[in-house]
Amino acid sequence: MITKTAWKNIWRNKVRSLVVIASVSVGIFAGAFSVAMMEGAMYQRLDDALNDEISHVQITAQGFRDNNDLACLMDNTGNMIDQVRLLEEVEAVSGRIMVIGMANTATKSTGVQIIGVDAENEKALSGLHSKIKEGTGGYLDPSGVENSALIGVDLAKSLNIIRYMITGEVIDSLALLGVPEAVTGKLRPYMDIRFKNEKAFKKELKPVFSQKEEIRYGHMIKEVSQSYREGARFTLTFIDREGFQTGGRFRIAGLYDIPNNMFESSQVFVLRDDLKRLTGLNEGENHMLMIRLKDVDDTREASQKIAAMFPDLETMNWREIQPDLAMLEQMAKIMYGMFMLIILAALAFGIVNTMLMVVLERTKELGMLTAIGMNKKKVFRLIMSESVFLSLFGGVIGMIISKIIISLTATRGINFASYQEGFEAMGYSAHIYPHIGNDFFVVVTLMIIITGILSAVYPALKALKLDPADALRTE
């Protein structure tokens, strides 16, 4: 009867209750959607890092990570790879040779890490082969020409390999992408002018567009105007096994494009055989074995097994290789909880206010209820139930709206293309796919109930302090 009465009571003042319910719904939706965006971005970062950059587990010789010494090798890695492949948790294994060197073009040079990979094995391990920018070529081909390299788009830009040029085709492409004539028209005076790099291109066009146009279309214009000659060449120089400077002229097989700008601008992938030949390393020698697992949740167990198999070597899992990623995962859950706590705390004040008005308005009725025999526990339960119903009703609506909108946006994602540079500078993709687990909703439901209960405490205590005789005299 108390529960039934409480439910009916919240609809006494429909407008007020609907306002409270709406505020709770909006608050929950805002919180859930923000968490979904943050979680989507975080999982994407983690996914990208594990798929494209570091994989799940790495084995190196002791001391290799300290100085990337070329001589710090593992030998007989063929045998090791076969042994690791037998583990049921393991999906793929591949060996890598790694040297620090310089990438040079006629006009620019920059320090890079050169990674010699087994192209076929790498495809099972890393997703880079599917991240080749359209129109720039393809992945490394072992049956192709000697000395081919896969470099990042950002590295290509910093080496001035990517140029910028406005052509008729560029303007047509921009029109197809929805850039209005008023904007593309401003590009016509710059047709057929080749800009040697992004900086020069942006400097020239900055005065042409308004800030709004720059934010809205700048990124698109930059992307479409990129001009790259397939098969462009550059030089890689490094130190060989004997300590002599060596290197070679490399043809760019393709440009890979991933959200992590720092990785893109520093990691060059070449065929293992090419690098082995140039550095003087032997067959079976590798600096690193990269291991991909079937399930990321098996990481700890699998890395312990692998470490036990090779006690003289250093085995590290992704949490140890990039503790900031591991911390991100752990911190994220705490942050989401605190975020929702803050939102619910703010909503609680609204509910407390509403319940105080309820107690004030129903002073006489509460006096009557006490007079006819409703004890303090039941009066408290009545007020608390009304508060919980208000919170829960609003919370459920908020969660339903969140679930619908997150589901709708999860497939297509939300593209923050205008802020792509900023995102990629931090290693994040600008195209975010909101994601939220069902356990979030369970936790939020509990938090809402607790909020409802706590919001009721003060108003309920006010109700309990009422003297029934005085309350009955109220008009």
Partner 1 sequence: MKVLELKNVHKIYNTSHIEVHAVNGVSIDFEQGEFAAIVGPSGSGKTTLLNMIGGLDVPSEGQILVDGIDLSALKSSQIIDFRMRNIGFVFQSYNLIPVLTAKENVEFIMNLQKWPKAKRDGRTLELLEAVGLADRIKSRPAQLSGGQQQRIAVARALASKPKFILADEPTANLDSKSTSTLLEIMEKLNRDENITFIFSTHDARVMKKARRVITLEDGKVVSDIIH
CB 11 to partner 1: min, Å: 7
Judged by CB under 8 A, the residue of 178, 207, 311, 373 near partner 1 is 373
- Residue 370 lies near partner 1 (rule: CB under 8 A): yes
- Residue 214 lies near partner 1 (rule: CB under 8 A): no
Q: State which of positions 66-125 bind partner 1 (CB under 8 A).
A: none
What is the rounded CA–CA span in Å between residue 285 and residue 287?
Answer: 7
Q: State which of positions 348-367 bind partner 1 (CB under 8 A).
A: 364-365
CB 450 to partner 1: min, Å: 26
Judged by CB under 8 A, the residue of 374, 384, 399, 432 near partner 1 is 374
- Residue 419 lies near partner 1 (rule: CB under 8 A): no
Smaller CB separation from partner 1, 2 or 200: 2
Smaller CB separation from partner 1, 327 or 469: 469
- Residue 208 lies near partner 1 (rule: CB under 8 A): no
Binding mask 2-21 for partner 1 (x = CB under 8 A): --xx--xx-xx---------
- Residue 347 lies near partner 1 (rule: CB under 8 A): no
Judged by CB under 8 A, the residue of 208, 338, 371, 461 near partner 1 is 371
Smaller CB separation from partner 1, 153 or 471: 471
CB 1 to partner 1: min, Å: 4
CB 473 to partner 1: min, Å: 8
- Residue 175 lies near partner 1 (rule: CB under 8 A): no
Name residues whose C-beta falls within 8 Å of residue 376's C-beta, 6 or more positions apart in sequence: 464
Determine the size of the site formed for partner 1 (CB under 8 A): 22
- Residue 210 lies near partner 1 (rule: CB under 8 A): no
Judged by CB under 8 A, the residue of 15, 182, 334, 372 near partner 1 is 372
Between the alpha carbon of residue 173 and those of residues 89, 272, 275, 447, the distances in Å are 46, 38, 40, 50
Binding mask 375-404 for partner 1 (x = CB under 8 A): xx-x--------------------------
CB 365 to partner 1: min, Å: 7
CB 368 to partner 1: min, Å: 4
Binding mask 305-344 for partner 1 (x = CB under 8 A): ----------------------------------------
CB 3 to partner 1: min, Å: 11
- Which phi and psi angles does 295 have, rounded to 5°? -135, 125
Name residues whose C-beta falls within 8 Å of residue 233's C-beta, 6 or more positions apart in sequence: 249, 250, 251, 252
Smaller CB separation from partner 1, 7 or 349: 7
- Residue 472 lies near partner 1 (rule: CB under 8 A): yes
Interface residues with partner 1 (CB under 8 A)? 1, 4-5, 8-9, 11-12, 364-365, 368-376, 378, 468-469, 472
